Structure 1
Amino acid sequence: MAQHITRRWARLGAVVGAGAMLVALAGCSGAASSTDSGSTDTDAALKEDVTLTWWTWSDSTQEQADAISKVYPNVTFDVVKLENPDAAVTKLQNAIKAGKGAPDLMPVEYQTLPQLALGDALADLTPYGLGDYADAFTASTWNAVNVQDELVGMPMDSGPMVMIYNKDLYDKAGITEAPATWDDFAAASAAIHAYDPEAYIANSGDAGFFTSMIWASGGQPFKTEGENITIDLQDEGSKKFADFWNARLHAGELSGVPTWSDEWSKALTQDKLGTLMMGSWMISGMNDYGTLGKWRVAQIPSWDGQPASAENGGSALTVTSQSANKAAAAGILKYLSEGEGRELINANGFPSTIADLENPEFLDFAYESYGGQPANQQGALSAESVLKGWQYLPYQGYANNVFTDSVGKALGSDGDLNAALVEWQETLVEFGNEQGFSVNK
């Protein structure tokens, strides 16, 4: 099994820009009726001559499309490469609003699925038999593709969170084991900064990191039922993590370098940033950050030492509501859900399928960057401990974008993170109500 990843693709699962906000709500979009024949026979559809338009931001999609065409020679793909997930979402929403121009297939980040589903942009895949694959996928990714009682995509990669840490730096600071609890993490944080005042256990993080940490802390700040939304960024899990991260921030133990910046890469390479807490898609991406063998992978800390994790990033492949070839497109999703088709997907991300997460070849792969550690075992373990019940907002892209105006500002100025969460909540409530949702009413 291939052990590499397009990191830019995966990491963009954490942040979506302003262009990903809602264009229209469910029931009032400009979506036109598809010219699809209405047949749900995916096998028959794949035997007919058909061209499927596939929007993507991934460099690997054309290669995947070419491989699929060898299996289904009657299917031709028109792959359209867009800049990033934000650009894809904005372009799709504009097509839905115009009533024409949407593709047949498009990847959508898990956090953005509710937004597009409520905007009538995605087809329900249940009539095409894709619901039969429920037991093949991890609970968290399958939950993500089921929105408002509709199956709106098929999981591609996944991002159960892990802790990637610099064992060399930890050893020099006197830390002999990876922190299992947040108390352990606090002690390790102080020890690293005391050993080297220019070194930090982690950076302060971004919107994707912060929401994932709230999730892993048991928080469920976003609840959506139809157009009724409840936002509580002072629930127990949200406040618990904010209090803890506030303490690290005010102790001067968190680096201010932005994730994915050149400064961030330099800090990792030069042993000035000791820990990454990210989706498991990052496991295969550490060869670029300093001496091979200095890194290790463990579970993220929890409050009581028992496994408790969250997802961070990842995408589903969807069929749009405007597709005139829904049965054929759904047939492609079936192919990519198992066997050789699933291998195409797994070559560029961390698996979302249970069988692959249990595959000894995958689990026992020894990574040079981790000194021969079979690090995928930690990702697979994390996938089993993702806490249930999490929901994203139907305008999560907007939420992540304005995060910098409140929580992000506090992270950069030693502010009060709980006060910043309240400010973020006020912004999200106001925006949601302006968009026609009923928020906190």
Structure 2
Amino acid sequence: MKGTRYFKTLLLIVLPLMLVLSACGGSGDSVNNRTDASPGSTGGDSSKKVKLQMWFWQGASFEKIIPEFNKLHPDIEIVPQIYKWEDAHKKLLTAMSADSGGPDIAMIDISQLDQFLKYPDKFYDLNEFGASDLKDEYLEWKWNQSIVGDKQLGLPTDIGPMVLYYRADLFEKAGLPSAPEDVSAKISNWDEFLEAGRTLKEKTGVDMLSNPYELYGAIRDQGDELYFDKDDNMIIDQNPQIKKALEYYIKARDMGIAGTYDQKNALQEYSAALNSGKIATYISAAWGRGHVETRAPDTKGNWRAAKIPEGTGNMGGSFLLIPKQSKYAEQAYEAIKWMLSPEQQLEVAKISGNFPSTPSVYGDKTFTEQGFDFWGGQKLGVLFAEVSKDVKVQRKGPNYQTVEDIINDGMQAVTVGKSEDPEKEFWELVEKAKTKLKNK
């Protein structure tokens, strides 16, 4: 009886202490208390603020709207971690491979998306949280890019409809059409573009393009397919659009209307050339507006934008996904649903120029009425909204970036080395890519 009384007394002392310690429990993770939560739960004590680790890259501009989300959601805090574009994807791949260390919310670029989507079980199906109800808020082609089977693995961020940014003052000096509607009408195919480049070079000495590979990329992205078919077989050899892109790369190089500036590895030199007026055009997406403004601040007022020859393509754009490593999937979904709503995509567009994937906002005065001083007062939103509906979308495949890096780097060497045979070198690079994929 004495032992029983002692045990009861001890229990009365220890049990309250255990309850106190349990309520104060230490974190098993520097961001989330993931060790005591089940997938999709609130992570234990409902009185604790859920902290969501979010990975994205510079230029996405989510850090500009996250404070508002945190203010409106006192029980949830998004903790942003901002990386360089390439580092964000490498770090995520490492975390997915290790099954640990991943974020609650991950941003993935369309060029990288397929290498993650081939492991759909690594991410939550957002339909479990009601994503299917949001489908009509987004452009259909964009929405469909993150579907695997019947699973919706991501919500769309911005899109990248391609346009032609050009120096209106240099075009005018060369006697070329300079008003956006005239450029679109009179430089409507790539042969006319090359001839305009020839005239520009003769009259002003300015390069039409920073690099012939820029032209290759634009024409490549206007095709029905890229480097792989739906079964991930490499089809570069059979793809007529790739052959056309290479043909025009060679023409631009041989005509001497393109520079040798390397945007990937020598950004400072390229920026200086753009800012000093040595380059007259930039073929890019809607987000390219910020690129030009940042790289060429001294050229304010001289730029305009027009439709690119032979129809637009999509260059860039991303998705937000929720890795299965997150123990706070419901809260993470609430966060991405808010951040990617039409209202917030419009807000990001005002901040950075990233173009929304939610067409309901295209009628907003931000796009229909707002002119931009840097662009001579042009209402760029009208152009972006128009071309976004005609984007041709291709499947990239999980190995797209591996192949593109090999071709891009190799053709840059060809651009600089004038004695190189570009066609011979291109197909050798394709073979090099095939070999690397075989040994991967």
Normalised by the size of structure 2, how large is the TM-score?
A: 0.80
Q: In 2 relative to 1, CA 139–384 (structure 1 residues): closer, same or farther, beyond 3 Å?
A: same
Once the two structures are superposed, residues 336-393 of structure 1 have per-residue CA deviations (whole angstroms, 9 ceiling, x without a partner) of: 23254334443332222111233233232111122211122222222112114x0113
Partner of 1:422: 427
Partner of 2:384: 379
Q: How does 1:361-372 map to 2 (within 5 A)?
A: 361-372=366-377
Q: Does the CA contact (< 8 Å) of 1:156 and 1:345 recur in 2?
A: no
Partner of 2:56: 56
Larger relative CO (CA 8 A, sep 6+): 1 or 2?
A: 1
1:204 to 198, 211, 236: 211
1:221 to 210, 227, 231: 227
Partner of 1:190: 198
Once the two structures are superposed, residues 285-321 of structure 1 have per-residue CA deviations (whole angstroms, 9 ceiling, x without a partner) of: 544523432111101111xxxxx21111222111112
Partner of 2:305: 297
Q: Does the CA contact (< 8 Å) of 1:190 and 1:253 recur in 2?
A: yes
1:403 to 402, 407, 418: 407
Q: In 2 relative to 1, CA 287–432 (structure 1 residues): closer, same or farther, beyond 3 Å?
A: closer
Q: In 2 relative to 1, CA 251–52 (structure 1 residues): closer, same or farther, beyond 3 Å?
A: same
Q: Distance in 2 between matches of 1:221 and 1:46?
A: 49
Q: In 2 relative to 1, CA 230–40 (structure 1 residues): closer, same or farther, beyond 3 Å?
A: farther
* Stretch deviating more after TM superposition (359-368 or 53-62): 53-62
Q: Distance in 2 between matches of 1:35 and 1:151?
A: 27
Could you tell me how far 1:98 is from its partner in structure 2? 2.1
Could you tell me how far 1:246 is from its partner in structure 2? 0.9
Partner of 1:125: 126
Q: Distance in 2 between matches of 1:320 and 1:357?
A: 31
Q: Distance in 2 between matches of 1:68 and 1:171?
A: 47
Once the two structures are superposed, residues 66-89 of structure 1 have per-residue CA deviations (whole angstroms, 9 ceiling, x without a partner) of: 21111211102232233x122222
Could you tell me how far 1:205 is from its partner in structure 2? 5.1
Structure with the larger helix share: 2
Secondary structure at the aligned position of 2:229 is classed as strand
Q: Does the CA contact (< 8 Å) of 1:157 and 1:350 recur in 2?
A: yes
Counterpart amino acid of residue 336 in structure 2: L
Secondary structure at the aligned position of 2:320 is classed as strand
Partner of 1:22: none
Could you tell me how far 1:276 is from its partner in structure 2? 0.5
Paired positions, count = 389
Could you tell me how far 1:281 is from its partner in structure 2? 0.9
Q: In 2 relative to 1, CA 274–139 (structure 1 residues): closer, same or farther, beyond 3 Å?
A: farther
Q: Distance in 2 between matches of 1:170 and 1:133?
A: 44
Q: Distance in 1 between matches of 2:270 and 2:251?
A: 22
Could you tell me how far 1:36 is from its partner in structure 2? 6.6
Counterpart amino acid of residue 189 in structure 1: G
Counterpart amino acid of residue 300 in structure 2: L
Q: Does the CA contact (< 8 Å) of 1:231 and 1:425 recur in 2?
A: no
Q: Distance in 2 between matches of 1:79 and 1:413?
A: 43
Q: In 2 relative to 1, CA 411–136 (structure 1 residues): closer, same or farther, beyond 3 Å?
A: farther
| Pairwise CA RMSD | 2.9
Partner of 1:101: 101
Could you tell me how far 1:193 is from its partner in structure 2? 0.9
Q: Distance in 2 between matches of 1:36 and 1:345?
A: 33
Counterpart amino acid of residue 209 in structure 2: A
Matched, 1:236 2:240: yes
Q: Distance in 1 between matches of 2:69 and 2:346?
A: 12
Secondary structure at the aligned position of 1:256 is classed as coil
Secondary structure at the aligned position of 1:224 is classed as coil
Q: Distance in 2 between matches of 1:296 and 1:37?
A: 53
Q: In 2 relative to 1, CA 46–353 (structure 1 residues): closer, same or farther, beyond 3 Å?
A: farther
Q: How does 1:60-99 map to 2 (within 5 A)?
A: 60-82=61-83, 84-99=84-99
1:357 to 355, 362, 366: 362
Partner of 1:391: 395
Counterpart amino acid of residue 168 in structure 1: D
Q: In 2 relative to 1, CA 363–233 (structure 1 residues): closer, same or farther, beyond 3 Å?
A: farther
Identity between Structure 1 and Structure 2 (%): 23
**Unaligned segments of structure 1, at least 5 residues:** 1-32, 303-307, 436-441
Secondary structure at the aligned position of 2:170 is classed as helix
**Unaligned segments of structure 2, at least 5 residues:** 1-33
Q: In 2 relative to 1, CA 329–210 (structure 1 residues): closer, same or farther, beyond 3 Å?
A: farther
Partner of 1:327: 330
Once the two structures are superposed, residues 51-71 of structure 1 have per-residue CA deviations (whole angstroms, 9 ceiling, x without a partner) of: 211123237444432211112
Normalised by the size of structure 1, how large is the TM-score?
A: 0.79
Counterpart amino acid of residue 355 in structure 2: F
Q: Does the CA contact (< 8 Å) of 1:40 and 1:327 recur in 2?
A: yes
Could you tell me how far 1:113 is from its partner in structure 2? 1.0
* Stretch deviating more after TM superposition (156-165 or 87-96): 87-96
Once the two structures are superposed, residues 418-437 of structure 1 have per-residue CA deviations (whole angstroms, 9 ceiling, x without a partner) of: 434423332332233333xx
Q: Does the CA contact (< 8 Å) of 2:39 and 2:328 recur in 1?
A: no
Secondary structure at the aligned position of 1:372 is classed as coil
Could you tell me how far 1:278 is from its partner in structure 2? 0.4
Partner of 1:143: 144
Partner of 1:168: 169
Could you tell me how far 1:151 is from its partner in structure 2? 2.1
Could you tell me how far 1:405 is from its partner in structure 2? 4.4
